[in-house]
Chains A and B, each alone.
Chain A
Amino acid sequence: MARLLEVRDLTTCFHTPEGVVHAVNGVSFDLAEGETLGIVGESGSGKTVSMLSLLRLIPEPPGRIVRGQALFQGKDLLKLDREAIQKMRGSQVGFVFQDPMTSLNPLMRIGEQLSEPMLKHLRLTPRQARNRSLELLKLVGIPGAAHRLDDYPHQFSGGMRQRVMIAMALSCEPKILIADEPTTALDVTIQAQVVALVKDLRRRLGMAVIWITHDLGVLAGLAHRVVVMYAGSIVEQAPVRQLYKDPRHPYTLGLLGALPRVDGQHAERLANIAGRPPDLLKPIIHCPFAPRCRFAIARCWETNPALLPVSDAHQSACWVLGGTGEPFGETQVD
C-alpha cells in the first residue's frame, strides 16, 4: 500500500499563564492508503491535539506547532499557507468530533450544514449540493432522509447527529477521515452501529481512517494498526493483532489489563494503572511512564527511551520490555 501521510517529529505546545504545556512531543507515524490507524491513550495524552495540529486547527495562540512535518501526497501540511490549508480541510481530510450534540450549529438546518463543504470545495450549485446531501444522508443510514434535510439539529438524536457529522466529513470524498472519539458520547448499541458504518464506508469509498479512542476494545475489530500514546509521545505502535498478543510497553499492558471482558477470564475487579499521568508543564527527561511503572529500572530514570524496534512493524519505547528480546506474553501479566 502506498504511503499517504507521513508525520515526523510533530511537536505542539500551549503557552498558558502557568507555563508551557508540552502537549505533543515528537510524534512520528505513517498512514497508508486505505489503512485504518487506531490511536489510543488516556485523556490528555495528546491524541486529539496531534490530530488537530496536522490540519493546524489548534487555537494559535495559545497553541504553537513547534516543529515537525506532515507530508500528505508530498506536501507538508504544516508549511502550507492559510488558503491552501483551508482547501485541504474538508476536501482531502475529513474530521468527525467527539460530541455530536455540540458539533452542529443549532440555528442551521441539517441540509444547509451538510451542503457547506460541497459548496466550498466542489463548487456545486445549491441545488446540486442539496441533492448530494440527500444521497449522503441515505448513505449514512438516516431513515426518511428526504424529510430530514430541513430539520434542525435538536430534532435529531445523538447517534443520528453523529451520522450527520460523518456524512459531512465524507461529503467531499476525503482521502483521510479523522474520527476523534466519535463513539464516546453515544450509547453502546449506537456505538456499534457507528463503528459498523465507518467500516462499511471505508470499504466502499477506499479512504484511510484515523480513529482516536481510549477504548482498545473498539479498535480490535476496526484498525489495521494501533498507535499508543502517553504524555504526548508514542510509546508503542504495532499491527493490531500483535499489539494484543504481544504488548511490549507497560502502559499498553496496563490498558489491556483495564479492559472488561465478557468471558470472565480476568478477576472481577478491573486492574487499574496506579498513579496519574505526568504534569506536562515540566519537561520530562526520564521515561514519562516510569513513576507509574512496576518494571522501572534505574535506566528508565536516566534517559527517555526512543521507539525501539521489536519486529518489522512493531516498535516500543521501553528499556525493559522493548527491543527484540523475549516476548512478554499475556500470561505473565497477572
Chain B
Amino acid sequence: MTARVKASGQPTARPGLGARLAEATTGRQALGRLLHNRMALLGLIIIVVYVVLAAFPSILTQHDPNVQNLARTLEPPSAEYRLGTDEFGRDVLSRVLHGARLSFTIAGLAVILGGLSGFAIGLLAGYFGGAVDTVLMRLMDVLLAMPGILLAIAVIAALGAGIGNVIIAIGIYNIPQFARLTRSTVLGVKTQDFVLASRSIGSSAPEILVRHIIPNAWGAPFVFAMLRFSTAILTASGLSFLGLGVSPPTPEWGAMLAASRGYMRLAPHLVLAYGLAISTLVLGFNALGEGLRDVFDPRTAR
C-alpha cells in the first residue's frame, strides 16, 4: 500500500466502505487504531492483567484457594493474606484469581458455543432466505421471547447444575442474539455485486458462502462476541449466586459473593473483593468491545 503511494507519487483515492474494512482487517492499522482508542486500551489492559493473573496466580499469592484455616477466619487484608480471609479462613485473593480462571472458561466456551451456532444459523437464514429463513428465525424468536436469565434457569432446571450445564445454558441464550446479527449482516453482503459476479462465473452456494459471504460478514459478530463475553460472565455469576451454577467449594465469583453476603457487616472486604472482581472484568470487556466496534465501523473512523 505505502509502496504504491510512493511509486505513483499521488495520494490514493478515498476507498469505499468495503475497501476500508479490508484495510482495517488486513493492515496493522487496525491494531494501531485500537491502541489509540483510550477506552479500548483500558479494556485491553484490564483483560490482559486478569488473564495473566488467572493463568499464574502464584505471582500474587502462594495460598491454595481451597485450604481452610479455621483459626483465622474473616480476617481483614494483611501482609500474609493480601485480601484477607473468608468465613472458612481461605485466602480471598487466591479465590478471586481462581474464580477468574473459572469465569474465563465458562464465558469463553459459552460465547464460542452460542456465537458459532448463532453465526451458522444466521448465515443459512440470511443467505438462503425463504422457508429456511422463516423456520430458523421463528425458532430464534421463541428463544428471544424469554428473558435471558430465565432461559438459562430453565435450561439448568432441565439439565441440572454444574459447570458444563452452565456453559450450555449461557451458550443457548446467546444463540438468537448472534443469529439475528449475522442474518442482517449477511442480507447486506449477499446483495453486493461481487456475489452476483461470483454466481456469474459458476460458483455454487457453498463456495460463495465460504469465499465471499463469511469473510465479509464475520466482523460484526466478532465484535459482538466481545460484548457478550461480559454478559456471559455476569450471567454465570448470577446463576451461581442463585445457587444454580457451580457448587460451593469451587471458587466461583457469584457463589462466593452469595456466601459472603451474610458477613457484609463483619467483613465487608469479602463482598468488595468479589464484587469488584466481577465488575472490573465486565468493564474491561465492555470497553474493549466498544473500542473494537469503533475500529471496525468505518462510520466512526476518522
Q: Which residues of A line the B interface, CB within 8 A?
A: 55, 57, 61, 86-91, 94-95, 97, 99, 101-108, 116-117, 120-121, 151-155, 157, 165, 168-169
Cα A102 to Cα B197 with chains together (Å)? 10
CB <8 Å contact, A106 and B21: yes
Instruction: Choose one: A55, A88, A103, A153; the contact of B19 (CB below 8 Å).
Output: A153
Cα A94 to Cα B198 with chains together (Å)? 11
Instruction: Choose one: A90, A101, A107, A152; the contact of B201 (CB below 8 Å).
Output: A90
Known contacts A86-B204, A103-B193; 15 further A-B pairs (Cβ under 8 A): A57-B200, A89-B199, A89-B201, A94-B201, A97-B193, A97-B200, A99-B193, A102-B192, A103-B194, A103-B197, A104-B197, A105-B194, A106-B18, A107-B216, A108-B212
Is B130 an interface residue, CB under 8 A from the partner? Answer: yes
Contacts of B80 in A (CB 8 A): none
Q: Which residues of B line the A interface, CB within 8 A?
A: 1, 4, 12-13, 15-16, 18-23, 25-26, 130, 192-194, 196-204, 211-212, 215-216
Contacts of B201 in A (CB 8 A): 89-90, 94-95, 116-117, 120, 168-169
Contacts of B200 in A (CB 8 A): 55, 57, 89-90, 94-95, 97, 169
Cα A232 to Cα B212 with chains together (Å)? 32
Instruction: Choose one: B25, B193, B198; the contact of A107 (CB below 8 Å).
Output: B25
Contacts of A168 in B (CB 8 A): 197, 201
CB <8 Å contact, A120 and B26: no
CB <8 Å contact, A61 and B130: yes
Cα A221 to Cα B203 with chains together (Å)? 34
Contacts of A165 in B (CB 8 A): 197
Contacts of A55 in B (CB 8 A): 200
Cα A117 to Cα B197 with chains together (Å)? 11
CB <8 Å contact, B193 and A102: yes
Task: List the 7 closest pairs (A to B, CB-CB), nearest first.
Answer: A154-B19, A106-B18, A90-B201, A95-B200, A89-B202, A90-B202, A154-B15
CB <8 Å contact, A107 and B22: yes
Could you jot down 11 A-B contacts, CB within 8 Å? A57-B199, A86-B202, A89-B199, A102-B18, A103-B194, A107-B26, A108-B212, A108-B215, A116-B211, A120-B202, A153-B19
B196, B201, B211: most-surrounded residue (chain A CB, <10 A)? B201
CB <8 Å contact, B19 and A95: no
B13, B16, B22: most-surrounded residue (chain A CB, <10 A)? B22
Which of chain B's residues has its CB closest to A155's CB? B4
Which of chain B's residues has its CB closest to A171's CB? B201
Instruction: Choose one: A86, A88, A97, A155; the contact of B197 (CB below 8 Å).
Output: A97
Instruction: Say yes or no: A116-B193 contact (C-beta < 8 A), given A154-B19, A154-B22, A157-B13.
Output: no
Instruction: Say yes or no: A104-B22 contact (C-beta < 8 A), given A57-B199, A90-B202, A121-B202.
Output: no
B13, B26, B202: most-surrounded residue (chain A CB, <10 A)? B202
Which of chain A's residues has its CB closest to B15's CB? A154
CB <8 Å contact, B203 and A116: yes
Contacts of A61 in B (CB 8 A): 130
B267–chain A nearest beta-carbon distance, Å: 55
Which of chain B's residues has its CB closest to A60's CB? B130
Which of chain A's residues has its CB closest to B16's CB? A101
Contacts of A89 in B (CB 8 A): 199-202
Which of chain A's residues has its CB closest to B199's CB? A57
Cα A165 to Cα B201 with chains together (Å)? 11
CB <8 Å contact, B22 and A106: yes
Cα A245 to Cα B45 with chains together (Å)? 76
CB <8 Å contact, A104 and B202: no
Cα A169 to Cα B202 with chains together (Å)? 11
B220–chain A nearest beta-carbon distance, Å: 14
CB <8 Å contact, A88 and B202: yes
Cα A94 to Cα B199 with chains together (Å)? 11
CB <8 Å contact, B194 and A104: yes
Cα A90 to Cα B202 with chains together (Å)? 6
CB <8 Å contact, B198 and A116: yes
